[in-house]
Amino acid sequence: MTTVDSYNPADPGDLVVSAPAVGAAGVEEAIGRARAAQREWWALGAAGRSAALGRAAAAVEAATEELVALTVREVGKPVAEARGEVARTVAIWRYYAQAPFAAAGEVHEPAAGSGLLLTRRRPYGVAGLVTPWNFPLAIPTWKAAPALAVGNTVVLKPAPEATACALRLAELAGLPDGVLTVVPGGGEEGAALVAGADVVSFTGSTAVGRQVVATAAGRGVPVQAEMGGLNAALVLPDADFAQAAAHLASAIAGYAGQKCTATSRVIAVGDAYGPLAEALAKALAQLPAADPAAASTACGPVINRQALERLLTAIDSAKAAGATVLAGGVRADRAGWYLEPTLLADVPAEHPLANEEFFGPVAVLLPAADLDEAIALANGTRHTLATSVHSRSLDTALAAADRLDAGMIRINAPSSGVDFHLPFGGAKAASYGAREQGTAAADFYTASRTVSLLPAGGN
């Protein structure tokens, strides 16, 4: 039997879980159970679904310490961030526990004559969710909770590296059989889920995301895909450099840069370059790669050996091409998959580090003569999820925000912040389909129907 084995990235010999991979047949069976359970789940009504999601929130909250420890162990998330993720997960369950009571349609006047026109939103059936490992509790929740709230059932295929977290989350949720099912596995299971679900939501790599979109669109089912981002931070000459450096260091090194909203390109405008380079290198040096279980750690390990080797190879390649290491650039001297937070200058424009998402604590520093050039650099990528702008001038920051191609723009704040009650998504190849989170999610997981009600014998 094939198993899904998840190891601790801070202690690679520590096997966190070994779960049987269900295979394509197992996914098809799970979809069948979910489809059979969906009618009864929908029939619970708003009060029943709301109560169930509220109980899930309470159960997750009661298991906070367990989930924090599991998140630190399975995906190497620093304990402070892990605690924040659990709190966010609870908040998301509670937020969507109110969604069943939201208006699900409108009443309209007919164009002529008497009668009544209604629009109503109804669930699709089975929501197939494919989720990454970097937010092993929050992302499955912000996909599953709205889908469940509006009456769908859910089949969740987590990344193999987050299998234990997903299984425990579903267990704690305590929903009726078939309403929330986790199917451990890899590419085979993910493909089977996309091929069988009634609505699909995916977060992961661009290459896989494109396949997911093609398959779902070919079947004619709704699909959304979040595929990462090559995120820029623009620092203007009038910025508070100490504050900007602290925000940027957090967005580069926090959780070893393993966030789709992490900053990987820092664009210094005009005279900002020199003081920012100095301040940022110093700020990154104060966030060394360290044990994620330690309360003071911001930068833990990257997820596995392959990720570390890819990052080190890219750094060596950039150095060979003339790049200068301003901070980090080396593997940390400890067991596990650790890379010191890294800042590189003089990286050639054509180098992969300047053009691709590497998902690690690495950023390149780029000069721009003025704001126009900075915006052109920030927009000159195929995918941007989040961008930050750092300036004391509100007018300048808001003007830049209007011109930036990014789904989320944060002013005088790290690019890596997310508000779960607002739409989440990127620009260009970073995202496909409807936005996630907030009320946008409820719309995505439902279809609109128009009902025309005319009086008997009427026109």
Indicate which residues carry an active-site annotation: 226, 260
Structure tokens at 374: 């900075």
Distance CA(444)–CA(182), nearest Å, equals 21
Q: How far is CA 412 from CA 101, 104, 172, 245, 248, in A?
A: 36, 37, 38, 10, 10
Residues 6+ apart with CB under 8 A from 349: none
- Give 158's strand partners: 131
Type of residue found at 197: A
Q: What phi, psi does 180 have (nearest 5°)?
A: -140, 110
Strands 324-327 and 263-269 come out as unpaired
Residue with tokens 């998301």: 92
Residues 6+ apart with CB under 8 A from 63: 168, 172
Q: What phi, psi does 357 have (nearest 5°)?
A: -80, 125
Q: How far is CA 173 from CA 28, 276, 452, in A?
A: 22, 46, 39
Structure tokens at 139: 């992302």
In terms of DSSP H, where are the helices of 321-388?
Answer: 371-379
Q: Are 24 and 188 in contact (CB under 8 A)?
A: yes
10 Å CB burial of residue 417 (0-12, 13-18, 19+) is middle
Distance CA(324)–CA(202), nearest Å, equals 37
